[in-house]
Amino acid sequence: MKLVSTYPFKPGDAQWMKEKGVHLVQFKSEQELIDSETYRDAEIIVANHRTLQQDFLQKCDAVRWVQVPHIGIERLPMDYLQSRGVIVINARGSLGVPIAEDIITKMLMLSRKSADLVRKQQERSWGGLSGVVNLSGKTLGVIGTGDVGTETAVRARPFGMKVLGINTDGRALPEFDQTYTLDHLNEVIEQSDYIALTLPLTDQTLNLMDEEQFKRMKPTAFLINISRGALINEEILLDYLRSHKIGGAGLDVFVEEFKLGKLPPESPFWKLDNVIITPHCAGGGDGFDMRFTQGFRFNLEKYIAGSPEQMINVRVYGKGY
């Protein structure tokens, strides 16, 4: 069984795979994989969604399982993969902890005016700041109660926050004080001092935060987005940030960034003084390798044993995430 990967499995994992009868071929980059001919007879391919497109997959004669080392799958050619019966797995469960930590970090930075304080330090300027607020006693609205959303709720509660959640069916979850369906989005927004977008981008969630939703936000509320830029109508967001109609935003993702691979220097978001910008790095951290490979090894054992129905994080065709 042949496996090609751009994910850097550690030597111990490679040895374990070899003992299981898996021939692992690793590549240092996506381009190196694309330029090779090695992938054509691979049964398992671990690569980025930008690589796993139909023109590439059509050359993969033996592929039966594709794995992305990230959560989003909306750019994968799911209809084509379904037509070939390929198993699609993402990194769900590997990124909840670091992304939740990033969300809490952004909330604290915005509340404590950390960017202003860093500027003061660089200018060697003493003196405090007005308008600093506490997380304690505030309400966090988590839009999407999956792995990332739940881990965020777990970390917000010890700060003394009330946590509201939105999921597909409004099911109650112990990590949240109250949960709702997406039909109640505006109701949750009106109650929230912080709003964290932790749901996937689908046809239903495109521009989820539009003018109506921004009108419902408290003028002191903060918006955190670590999922996809297109969840937000960015023109409306820019207007609300420029005119300080909301407290601010912590943004790890943008529409242009997703298309270009970076936020271009001419983007108007760079000029805003009430925004924390990070370069799509919310999932970073030293624990990812352990969580990702743990899940991958579990699935590989089930796959080798002929029990694909027991594999975890298998994406369901038709859902879009």
Output the CA torsion sign for 188, 190, 196, 197: positive
Strands of the sheet containing 23-26, edge to edge, are: 23-26, 2-5, 44-46, 65-67, 87-89
Please report the pLDDT score of residue 37 as a whole number. 87
Quick one: 96-277 is in which CATH superfamily?
NAD(P)-binding Rossmann-like Domain (3.40.50.720)
Q: DSSP characters for 182-227?
A: GGGHHHHHHH-SEEEE-S---TTTTT-B-HHHHHHS-TT-EEEE-S
Residue given tokens 């700041």 in the structure block: 129
pLDDT per position as a tens digit, 135-171: 999 999 999 999 999 999 999 999 999 999 999 999 9
pTM over 0.85: yes
CATH of 2-94+288-310, one of 3.40.120.10, 3.40.50.1370, 3.40.50.720, 3.20.20.30: 3.40.50.720
Question: Are both 2-94+288-310 and 96-277 of the same fold?
Answer: yes
Instruction: Give SS3 for 164.
Output: strand
Q: What pLDDT digit, counting tens, does each position of 164-215 carry?
A: 999 999 999 999 999 999 999 999 999 999 999 999 999 999 999 999 999 9
> What's the pLDDT score for residue 318?
87
DSSP 233: -
Boundaries of every domain in the chain:
2-94+288-310, 96-277
pLDDT tens profile 43-60: 999 999 999 999 999 999
Residue 139 · residue 161 · CB < 8 Å:
yes
**128: pLDDT strictly greater than 90:** no
Question: Among the residues of 84-193, which ranges form H helices?
Answer: 96-111, 114-122, 147-156, 185-191
Angle at 70 between CA 281 and CA 182, to 5 degrees: 90
Q: Is the pLDDT of residue 319 over 90?
A: no
Query: pLDDT value at position 320?
Result: 79
CA 222 centroid distance within chain = 18
Structure confidence by residue, pLDDT tens digits, 220-231 = 999 999 999 999
Distance CA 318, CA 253 (A): 25
